[in-house]
Amino acid sequence: MKIKFAFLAFTTFYFLSCSKDTVTDTDKMIFNQTKSTDGFVWFKNSMSNWRKSSGTGHSAAFLRTRYNAIAAKQLDANGKVKPDALFENGSLIVKEFYSSASSTEIDFYAIMYHNDQDPLTPEHGWLWAYYNTDGSARYSVTNKGGNCHSCHSQQGIVDHTLMNKYFP
Ligand code: HEC
């Protein structure tokens, strides 16, 4: 099982690091909200670069995670996701990736955007994407999160999010 998981993670990286997708209007709309930190709340109220967890499927070594105002309604006073959180439409969770602990330059973004009305959205209500800082898509919402579900549907998720599980 572990080997299968590692293989899956590897193929996911490989695929994501080599591909570039067409940017759709939905990607543009989400990227426009992603690139500014205005109105966002940081996970555990911390703006530090954190070393990635053991369970991650994301290639960069360090990360920061933030929630837009709608998503932040599901955070508690310590900036952790409430255990029974259900994110509303319009919720945007942005993970910024950094190559080192001291880096202030973002390598790229991973996002989850909640919209259960979008025809591209899988049943669980989230759109998934990876964006470069220039707005090009490493992984467009049109892929319907096919490379993301394997991990983001595991035991211990809160509405498909994993920060609480790996950074308790
Ligand atoms: C191999 C497992 C794995 C895969 C595949 C994966 N993720 Fe993640 N993801 C994680 C883990 C673990 C975390 C939290 C801890 C960390 O990043 O170290 C996380 C966190 C996130 C977060 C921060 C919100 C949260 O709490 O979950 C976003 C956004 C995210 N991933 C987006 C994506 C997208 C988009 C894809 C697919 C393109 C994807 N992930 C594929 C394991 C994975």
Cβ 166 under 6 angstroms from ligand 1: yes
Q: For all residues of the chain together, what is the average pLDDT? A: 90
Long-range contacts of 82-91 (CB under 8 A, 24+ apart): 82/158, 83/158, 83/164, 84/158, 85/158, 85/159, 85/161, 86/159, 87/114, 87/125, 87/126, 87/159, 87/161, 88/114, 89/114, 89/115, 89/116, 89/117, 89/125, 90/114, 90/115, 91/67
Q: What is the pLDDT of residue 1?
A: 39
Q: How many CA atoms lie within 13 A of 120 on its CB side?
A: 17
For 8-18, how does the pLDDT look when each residue is reduced to its tens digit (9 = 90+)?
454 454 445 55
For 65-85, how does the pLDDT look when each residue is reduced to its tens digit (9 = 90+)?
999 999 999 999 999 999 999
Going from the Cα of 165 to the center of ligand 1, the distance in angstroms, rounded, reads 11
